[in-house]
């Protein structure tokens, strides 16, 4: 998040120094991006504070199942179905 803030300030500075509109637009979009990330983190903190589970903050991880290549997915499903019977 802090990288987005720094990039937004840099783009705005470049727009001001060069009197060009393009870096200003990029800086504005980056400002919207870090505002969105900050809002998401704020809502997550509010949910945690009130005792909720919270929002996902990263890539989903499935700890119960190891990674299987696509070729072995059928075998995995077959073994799971065999265990259920």
Q: What's the pLDDT at 52?
A: 84
Tell me if residue 85 falls in helix, strand or coil. coil
pLDDT one digit per residue (tens) for the chain, 85 residues: 788 889 999 999 999 999 888 989 999 999 999 999 999 999 999 998 998 888 887 766 655 555 545 555 666 666 655 555 5
Look up the domain containing 71 and give its range.
2-84
Residues 6+ apart with CB under 8 A from 38: 1
Alpha helices in 1-85, H assignment, sequence order = 2-18, 22-49, 73-84
Length of the chain: 85
Q: What's the pLDDT at 38?
A: 92
Q: Which two tokens stand for residue 71?
A: 């070729």
The whole-angstrom separation of Cα 69 and Cα 78 is 15
Q: What's the pLDDT at 56?
A: 81
Per the structure, the count of domains in the chain is: 1
């Amino acid at each position: 998040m802090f990288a987005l803030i720094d990039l937004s300030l840099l783009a705005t500075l470049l727009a001001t120094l060069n009197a060009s509109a393009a870096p200003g637009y990029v800086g504005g979009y980056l400002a919207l991006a870090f505002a969105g990330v900050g809002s998401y983190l704020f809502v997550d903190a509010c949910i945690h504070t009130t005792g909720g589970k919270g929002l996902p903050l990263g890539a989903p991880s499935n700890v119960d199942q190891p990674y299987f290549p696509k070729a072995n997915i059928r075998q995995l499903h077959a073994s799971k179905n065999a265990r259920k019977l």
